[in-house]
């Protein structure tokens, strides 16, 4: 049996259903008619990091030890990137298959792990080389498919201009992913083939439902149609790490924390750079057009790059740690939801958490719209050995709200700037194949359910560590997996060794707009 899992970063029915209905996406119409389709819940916050690893391991962030692109280390008084493969304490589900697996472009899986089969790591990281296992595969991918992990001109993307040189690059990346997928499937060597199309969501972030996004989906629809005609394919799953929706309001959580006395900041180098007119918006596009941005990032001192402010004087990335007054602050936040409380004792931490939740619940924007669907205590969201390292408060942003994590803005609310589309916690899932019940109603489908369900489909034991459930309701009542009990096993946890890739990762996240 060969199963293909196609990961479409940020995909959701909210965006594509109108295109399905008007005939623009005939293959997705076929999949939803002849397969089982449903909205699917992501882990909070609904972000690429950590949700791709949540999918791949079947475990929640409290067990993985990664909760967003960055982590706040209260003891060391620093904010650092947490998105390398070795930051995650978990085991990918394809390691439990008897047969070989081909894993292509899984985000946050750099450096690649040694698998029975092949692993082509997705970003961030792998800016230049070292992204495949075995190592020799990299040269083959580049020669045969002109394969690249990232487009070369990411910094040219702008929510105000879809006519730029990066968009065609992203289309080429999409095609190259499917080219690899088709060839690996045709080889017939693999029990599982997983391929992620990541930059689809980058287009959605910048352009939401504009024509450039629609064209990307038309391309994917046509390529999926070709897949479905291949004899080597038995079961086909489409899934996403989270969903998307159009941004209507920007909420600046650290500005709110500062205005309400939870966060105290200090002046620093960024303030002087801003006063001198040296900002991200002025410097980086010039370097990109000159074709020297990559080199400049490596020649300029790292601290100078990290302290470069935006036009409003705000700082992002790890530079936030340099402007936080750690002695006097009670809380600091990342973007898109996580809030970390700074306290000397459990009693004081609980007091601040309770007050924060009370102050944030029911918060509305300037037009009276709710900013959050829920304001949650971190211990109610996560469980596992690393849960105590996670955020103390988790903000589940309401539809149309983008939560920024920058420090230094004057206003709490703002209009969309870099992005037009934001993540939401409802992604999509489609199951298609001979054992799938096309009438299935998959209520409460969760991203953590995919790993144990695929293992069960293939007759494998399900590790006890997995948080997800085998979705019996996905299978046809007469099928073999629907009539077999789930077998559980203990599992070994761990991942490959890694070199430090902090600088490249942080740059890439900034280009994408995550590290604000």
Domains in the chain, please, with CATH?
A: 3-246+422-505 (3.40.720.10), 249-415 (no CATH)
Q: In angstroms, rounded to a whole number, what is the distance separating the alpha carbons of residues 370 and 209?
A: 23
What's the pLDDT score for residue 87?
Answer: 95
What's the pLDDT score for residue 291?
Answer: 55
What's the pLDDT score for residue 294?
Answer: 47
Residues 6+ apart with CB under 8 A from 321: 77, 78, 79, 80
Report the alpha-carbon angle 490-494-500, nearest 5.
170
The list of the chain residues with pLDDT below 50 reads 269-276, 279, 294-296, 298-299, 301-303, 306, 309-310, 313-315, 493-506, 508, 515
Pair of tokens at residue 297: 């990032």
Pair of tokens at residue 122: 């997705």
- What percent of the chain shows pLDDT beyond 90? 76
Instruction: Give the side-chain half-sphere CA count within 13 A for 458.
Output: 27
What's the pLDDT score for residue 160?
Answer: 81
What's the pLDDT score for residue 313?
Answer: 45
What's the pLDDT score for residue 320?
Answer: 84
What's the pLDDT score for residue 503?
Answer: 38
Q: In angstroms, rounded to a whole number, what is the distance separating the alpha carbons of residues 107 and 83?
A: 9
Q: In angstroms, rounded to a whole number, what is the distance separating the alpha carbons of residues 159 and 167?
A: 12
What's the pLDDT score for residue 511?
Answer: 55
Helix (H, G, I), strand (E, B) or coil at 159: coil
Number of H helices, E strands in the chain: 18, 21
Q: In angstroms, rounded to a whole number, what is the distance separating the alpha carbons of residues 313 and 494?
A: 41
Q: Are 4 and 181 in contact (CB under 8 A)?
A: yes
Q: In angstroms, rounded to a whole number, what is the distance separating the alpha carbons of residues 128 and 116?
A: 24
């Amino acid at each position: 049996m060969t199963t293909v899992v196609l990961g479409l970063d940020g995909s959701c029915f909210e965006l594509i259903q109108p295109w399905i209905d008007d005939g623009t996406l005939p293959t997705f119409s076929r999949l939803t008619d002849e397969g089982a389709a449903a909205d699917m819940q992501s882990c909070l916050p609904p972000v690429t990091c950590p949700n791709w690893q949540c999918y791949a391991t079947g475990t929640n962030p409290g067990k993985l030890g990664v909760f967003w692109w960055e982590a706040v280390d209260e003891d060391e008084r620093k904010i650092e990137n947490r998105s390398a493969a070795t930051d995650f304490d978990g085991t990918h589900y394809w390691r439990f298959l008897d047969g070989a697996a081909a894993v292509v472009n899984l985000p946050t899986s750099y450096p690649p792990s040694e698998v029975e089969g092949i692993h082509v790591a997705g970003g961030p990281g792998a800016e230049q080389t070292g992204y495949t296992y075995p190592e020799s595969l990299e040269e083959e991918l580049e020669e045969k498919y002109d394969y690249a992990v990232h487009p070369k001109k990411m910094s040219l993307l702008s929510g105000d201009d879809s006519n730029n040189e990066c968009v065609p690059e992203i289309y080429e990346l999409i095609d190259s992913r499917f080219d690899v997928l088709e060839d690996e499937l045709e080889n017939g060597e693999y029990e599982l083939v997983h391929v992620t199309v990541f930059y689809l969501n980058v287009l959605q972030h910048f352009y939401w439902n504009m024509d450039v996004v629609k064209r990307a989906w038309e391309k994917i629809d046509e390529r999926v149609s070709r897949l479905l005609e291949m004899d080597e394919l038995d079961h086909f799953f489409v899934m996403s790490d989270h969903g998307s929706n159009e941004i209507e309001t920007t909420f600046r959580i650290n500005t709110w924390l500062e205005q309400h006395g939870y966060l105290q900041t200090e002046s620093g180098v960024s303030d002087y750079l801003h006063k001198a007119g040296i900002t991200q918006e002025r410097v980086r596009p010039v370097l990109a057009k000159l074709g020297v941005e990559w080199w400049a990032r490596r020649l300029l001192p790292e601290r100078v790059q990290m302290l470069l402010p935006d036009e409003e004087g705000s700082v992002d990335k790890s530079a936030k740690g340099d402007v936080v007054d750690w002695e006097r602050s009670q809380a600091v936040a990342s973007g898109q939801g996580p809030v970390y409380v700074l306290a000397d004792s459990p009693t004081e931490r609980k007091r601040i958490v309770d007050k924060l939740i009370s102050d944030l619940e029911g918060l509305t924007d300037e037009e009276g719209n709710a900013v959050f669907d829920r304001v949650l205590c971190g211990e109610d969201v996560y469980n596992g050995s690393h849960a105590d390292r996670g955020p103390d408060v988790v903000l589940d942003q309401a539809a149309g709200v983008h939560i920024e994590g920058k420090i230094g803005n004057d206003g709490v609310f703002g209009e969309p700037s870099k992005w037009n589309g934001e993540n939401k916690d409802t992604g999509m899932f489609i199951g298609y194949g001979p054992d799938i019940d096309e009438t299935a109603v998959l209520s409460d489908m969760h991203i953590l359910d995919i790993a144990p369900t695929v293992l069960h489909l293939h007759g494998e034991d399900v590790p006890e560590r997995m948080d997800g459930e085998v979705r019996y309701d996905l299978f046809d009542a007469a099928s073999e997996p629907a009539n077999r009990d789930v077998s559980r096993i203990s599992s070994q946890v761990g991942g490959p060794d890694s070199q430090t890739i902090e600088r490249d990762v942080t740059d890439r996240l900034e280009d994408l707009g995550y590290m604000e």
